[in-house]
Amino acid sequence: MSPLDDVLDQLKRGVDAGVRQAKRAADTMEAEARIFALHRKIGLRSYQLWVAGELTHPELLPDLQAIADLEKRSGEEPSGERVDETRVSAGAVSFCGQCGGVVTPGSRFCPACGKPQP
């Protein structure tokens, strides 16, 4: 093997390692985005159940009441948005309310599950 072949081989290995590292980082970010969306979905559903009088849990009550108080102060009615129709946003990235998949801003459909986006 010539010295040039050695350099090219090392370069290829470095690029391959960088691609693997970038893929792992992207997978981690997508998982975190889905977790965030699912947490929001669970929280919203819990709040809706509490407003409807179907949820009582002593550890959740202070936070649920705080949300209701904030909505009253802002002049909003208790949240009536449907969990399955929400799209959660965090900065420039959006997440599908159905599956938690990452949705590019302006996309009409979730690339993971195909649900139309608002």
- What is residue 38's three-state secondary structure? helix
User: What pLDDT, in 10s, does the model give residues 80-109?
Assistant: 444 444 444 444 556 777 777 777 777 888
> Residue 76: which pLDDT band, with cuts at 50, 70 and 90?
low
- What span, in angstroms and rounded, lies between the C-alpha atoms of 42 and 97? 11
Tell me how many degrees the CA angle 44-117-55 measures, rounded to the nearest 5: 15
Closest CA to 66 of 54, 82, 78, 84: 78
89 bridge partner residues: 94
Give the contacts of 111 (CB within 8 A, at least 6 positions apart).
101, 102, 103, 104
- Residue 81 has a pLDDT of 47
- Tell me: pLDDT of 79 over 70: no
Encode pLDDT of 4-62 as tens digits. 999 999 999 999 999 999 989 888 888 888 888 888 888 888 888 888 888 888 899 89
